[in-house]
Amino acid sequence: MRRVTIRDVAAEAGVSIGTASKALNGQGKLRAETRERVAEVAERLGFAPNTLAQALLAGRSFTVGLITTDSFGRFSIPVMLGVEDALGTGQVSVFMCDTRDDPERERRYVETLAARRVDGLIVSGRRIEPRPPVVAGPGIPVVYAMTQPVGEDGPAVVPDDEGGGRVAAEHLLHGGRRRIGHITGPERFLGARMRAAGFGATLAQAGLRAHGGVRFGEWSERWGREAAARLLAEEPGTDAIFCGSDQIARGVADTLRAAGRAIPGDVALVGFDNWEPMALGAQPPLTSVDMCLEEVGRVAAGLLLAAIAGEPARGTRRVPCRLVTRQSSRPGPTG
């Protein structure tokens, strides 16, 4: 069956092609009855407007590029879901490009997206460390999500890692825990340092400090097992442990069980990331700080839409984290 064209609509409505186009796109000074007649004919004939032609008329492609360095999708997929929610289903399309941490691959993707005349770019990462800025060319705004540009004033959207550390400490303190250890990832990572800072500041307000000190190491279950064994050997009275990731927490849980420590009866446990395969698969299910990555994506997309509309923002915005409470951190006997 032949596709209905704007020419068919114009002929049936008794107007020129130009008038039919203006009527359907809300342009020009036309009588109300003309617009209504053209719209009625278009609907009756089943006319589907050419989205490319509409985009050219509006000076936009209604596409956005999402460049990510997160090959596994652990962080980029939730961010992308939030981006798509904010851009609106069917209104703006998203091209997702995985650079695999290769600067040359990233450069080629940026050039390709610019050649496709995307309306803007969102650059996403798997950590909040500042990275080299992306230059997409004149008229293509760039917003960063789950990362930020080094030497520039954004716009960027990242989780509030420091606030996440505070939330974890407040939860454990409220549960009656007072000898709370902290096992986390490499100190070189900004996120690890900020989580530790928020955690430590909240303990300090209660007249406490990290039990056994902050233990920086790796983002792995193996490190969780090793660090927990050392902590229990050096500080056997530990009654709670806040972990910088859910993977670390899974390793800590292994060591606690092997040592005969009940979770949460003897030692409460809180992770970070709320990575459901890890958190729900733990024994018992793991209380964890959620970075709200979909909200990070939604906020970033909102900033990009504003920039496309001529209202660019500056600076870094931090999205609050939330605590997802599960069985691993029930209040202790004194809570």
Verify that 314 and 256 share a domain, yes or no: no
Predicted local confidence at residue 63, as pLDDT: 87
The residue type of 212 is G
**Other Cβ atoms closer than 10 A to 263:** 21
The reply to whether 335 falls in a domain is no
* Residue 208, domain CATH: 3.40.50.2300
Picking from 133, 134, 122, 69, the residue whose alpha carbon sits closest to that of residue 100 is 69
Query: Which burial class, exposed, middle or buried, applies to 46 when counting CB atoms under 10 A from its CB (0-12, 13-18, 19+)?
Result: exposed
The reply to whether 128 falls in a domain is yes
Verify that 186 and 115 share a domain, yes or no: no
> Tokens in use for 106?
């990233």
**Other Cβ atoms closer than 10 A to 210:** 19
Verify that 115 and 45 share a domain, yes or no: no
The reply to whether 1 falls in a domain is no
Predicted local confidence at residue 326, as pLDDT: 96
Cα distance between residue 283 and residue 327, in whole Å: 9
Verify that 154 and 270 share a domain, yes or no: no
The reply to whether 154 falls in a domain is yes
Verify that 138 and 284 share a domain, yes or no: no
The reply to whether 155 falls in a domain is yes
Verify that 152 and 165 share a domain, yes or no: no
Verify that 179 and 275 share a domain, yes or no: yes
Verify that 242 and 187 share a domain, yes or no: yes
Cα distance between residue 238 and residue 269, in whole Å: 11
The reply to whether 36 falls in a domain is yes
Each residue's pLDDT tens digit in the chain (335 positions)? 566 777 788 899 998 877 887 787 666 678 888 888 988 988 888 876 654 445 444 557 788 999 998 777 778 889 988 988 888 755 788 888 989 888 999 999 999 999 888 999 999 988 888 999 998 888 899 999 999 999 878 799 999 999 999 999 999 999 999 999 999 999 999 999 999 999 999 999 999 999 999 999 999 999 999 999 999 999 999 999 999 999 999 999 999 999 999 999 999 999 999 999 999 999 999 999 999 999 999 999 999 988 888 888 899 999 999 999 999 998 755 44
> Tokens in use for 9?
């609509």
Verify that 83 and 135 share a domain, yes or no: yes
> Tokens in use for 138?
């004149």
* Residue 43, domain CATH: 1.10.260.40
Predicted local confidence at residue 153, as pLDDT: 83
Domain of residue 224 covers: 161-290+324-329
CB 217 within 8 A of CB 227: yes
Predicted local confidence at residue 27, as pLDDT: 63
Cα distance between residue 148 and residue 272, in whole Å: 21
Cα distance between residue 295 and residue 320, in whole Å: 9
> Residue by residue, what is the 3-state secondary structure of the chain?
CCCCCHHHHHHHHCCCHHHHHHHHHCCCCCCHHHHHHHHHHHHHHCCCCCHHHHHHHHCCCCEEEEEECCCCCCCHHHHHHHHHHHHCCCCCEEEEEECCCCHHHHHHHHHHHHHCCCCEEEEECCCCCEECCCCCCCCCCEEEECCEECCCCCCEEEECHHHHHHHHHHHHHHCCCCCEEEEECCCCCHHHHHHHHHHHHHHHHCCCCCCCCEEECCCCHHHHHHHHHHHHHHCCCCCEEEECCHHHHHHHHHHHHHCCCCCCCCCEEEEECCCHHHHHHCCCCCEEEECCHHHHHHHHHHHHHHHHCCCCCCCEEEECCEEECCHHHCCCCCC
Q: How many domains does the chain have?
A: 3
- How far does CA 285 lie from the centroid of its chain? 23
Verify that 218 and 98 share a domain, yes or no: no
Buried b (16+ CB within 10 A) or exposed e, 281-294: ebeeebbbbbbbbb
The reply to whether 70 falls in a domain is yes
Verify that 263 and 299 share a domain, yes or no: no
The reply to whether 334 falls in a domain is no
Verify that 108 and 191 share a domain, yes or no: no
